[in-house]
Amino acid sequence: MISTNLLALFYLVSGVLFILALRGLSSPETSRQGNFFGILGMSIAVIVTFLSIGNFSTSFIYVVLFLLIGGGVGAFIAFKIPMTAMPELVAGFHSLVGLAAVFVAISAFLNPEAFNLGASGNIKLASLIEMSIGAAVGAVTFSGSIIAFLKLRGIMSGAPITFTGQHVLNLFILISIIGLTYFLCVSQSPNLFWTLIVISFLVGILLIIPIGGADMPVVISMLNSYSGWAAAGIGFTLENTALIITGALVGSSGAILSYIMCKGMNRSFFSVILGGFGGTDHISKSDSKEQKPVKSGNSDDAAFLMKNASSVIIVPGYGMAVAQAQHALREMVDTLKKNGIKVSYAIHPVAGRMPGHMNVLLAEANVPYDEVFELEEINNDFSNCDVAYVIGANDVTNPVAKTDPQSPIYGMPILDVEKAKSVLFVKRSLSPGYAGVDNDLFYRENTLMLFADAKKMTEDIIKSF
């Protein structure tokens, strides 16, 4: 048995190690060491908790057993998951944190003595409020992440689900949650506690269903943030420093990522939450433009253009991941480099389905990270480059965002692809992207459309070289 003070100091050490784990991510070189700090912090937290209880009875064996079962499942998933499925995986993991927070809160409510929170039916007021917040936010995180998971997996349609009175209903539920928490504190009634959890589950669902597929990067970041606040709420209940520190770190991390994603789409956080974006309502706009001439070519034309280029910029998007074209793409780039052509990659902040998704996919295909650039770093280089190869990206290259104030994507920062001498745009058809906006780039003088599957076209270009 170790003293409470010593225990608190060890939790503080864990918290500091978690800070170092995030700090390590400031560069790929230090990141692996950072992850090690994270693992160390977690091990310390778990071991000192065991030591503090000192109850090495039959229960202890079960705890270890359950830990190993969960750990085994987690390890199996971690090794099996393809990198293209990272968004779903992260959404799934968030749901587990949320549900774990709910379970711990329930357990603390049923047996407050175990946590020094007073007696059952007479829980300390502050603890009860913290517990309710932890449970409610945890429940929202859980059900919201499940919906996000289903949408990302394609089990549920990515189209936003909206109905009249949606916002009024959400507002009503929000008020009822505050009311419920108040009455729960007054009466300590278990029924109110259960009702609170059930309603919070409902909020999570209602919150995410109106948000369309295009806004998924924001949703994932937002749920990341929620899972942190839920953990912090439980941390206050259990008076545990490691949990409070971690919850605050994760909460602010998710909030920052949401902000970066919103900025990448020039959308306010509020309009993302209110939902409805990425539906079918904008598509009708594009009808009038359909008659414009488009230049299209084949892999030989593309290879010819690239052969005569001295610099090429690759613009990958989510379509590249869908077509599993990243490995073929890297092979094509190798061929280009062998011919003395300078190649770099340009990544838009919202390319892919989650923050940084494209970077992971390129890293998996053995693309060195120092050839991959962010929007601000590379945007000026397009005017000096000979060929821009757009593969699986669409809305993030649309010049309309700079010129047409009527467009739903007006003001969104975009990659200045149209400034390249020639643009090779790999796409299956002229259909508009997620935002439902027709891409002006298709009809430009310097654009050559390559109508094909991204992987097949890239492989054909290698052959034609």
Partner 1 sequence: MEIDPFIFRLSIFILSIFIGYYVVWSVTPSLHTPLMSVTNAISSVIIVGAIIAALAGNNENIFNESSIFGFLAIILAAVNIFGGFLVTQRMLAMYKKKKK
Interface with partner 1, residue 312, by CB under 8 A: no
Tell me the closest approach of the beta carbon of residue 448 to partner 1, in angstroms: 29
Interface with partner 1, residue 246, by CB under 8 A: yes
Of the candidates 2, 6, 9, 75, which one interacts with partner 1 according to CB under 8 A? 75
Interface with partner 1, residue 23, by CB under 8 A: yes
Q: Measure the CA dihedral 384/367/85/262, to 10°.
A: -30
Candidates 177, 182, 174, 175; CA nearest to 125 is 182
Burial class (CB in 10 A: 0-12, 13-18, 19+), 110: exposed
Q: Phi/psi of residue 27, each to 5°?
A: -150, 150
Interface with partner 1, residue 2, by CB under 8 A: no
Candidates 342, 335, 322, 295; CA nearest to 454 is 322
Residue number, 142 or 382, with CB nearest to partner 1: 142
Q: Is 271 helix (H, G, I), strand (E, B) or coil?
A: helix
Q: Are 200 and 233 in contact (CB under 8 A)?
A: no
Written as six digits, the tokens of 433 are 């992207």
Of the candidates 13, 42, 202, 274, which one interacts with partner 1 according to CB under 8 A? 42
Start-to-end C-alpha separation, the chain = 70
Of the candidates 106, 156, 199, 294, which one interacts with partner 1 according to CB under 8 A? 106
Interface with partner 1, residue 122, by CB under 8 A: no
- Residue where the block lists tokens 């705890």: 63
Interface with partner 1, residue 306, by CB under 8 A: no
Concatenating the DSSP letter of every residue in 141-206 gives HHHHHHHHHHHHHTSS-SS----TTHHHHHHHHHHHHHHHHHHHHHH--HHHHHHHHHHHHHHHHH
| Active site amino acids | 395
Of the candidates 84, 143, 200, 227, which one interacts with partner 1 according to CB under 8 A? 227
Residue number, 17 or 401, with CB nearest to partner 1: 17
Q: Are 35 and 24 in contact (CB under 8 A)?
A: yes
Residue number, 372 or 409, with CB nearest to partner 1: 372
Interface with partner 1, residue 334, by CB under 8 A: no
**Count of chain residues binding partner 1 (CB under 8 A):** 116
Interface with partner 1, residue 59, by CB under 8 A: yes
Interface with partner 1, residue 111, by CB under 8 A: yes
Interface with partner 1, residue 84, by CB under 8 A: no
Window of 173-181, 235-243, 436-444, 450-458 that interacts with partner 1 by CB under 8 A: 235-243
Among residue numbers 364 through 403, which ones bind partner 1 (CB under 8 A)?
A: 364, 366, 368-372, 374
Interface with partner 1, residue 249, by CB under 8 A: yes
Tell me the closest approach of the beta carbon of residue 434 to partner 1, in angstroms: 19
Tell me the closest approach of the beta carbon of residue 431 to partner 1, in angstroms: 28
Candidates 161, 108, 164; CA nearest to 132 is 108
**How many degrees, rounded to 5, is the angle at CA 417 between CA 28 and CA 258?**
50
Of the candidates 156, 159, 248, 462, which one interacts with partner 1 according to CB under 8 A? 248
* Residue 319 zone, left/alpha/beta (φ > 0; ψ -120 to 50; rest): alpha
Residue number, 250 or 437, with CB nearest to partner 1: 250
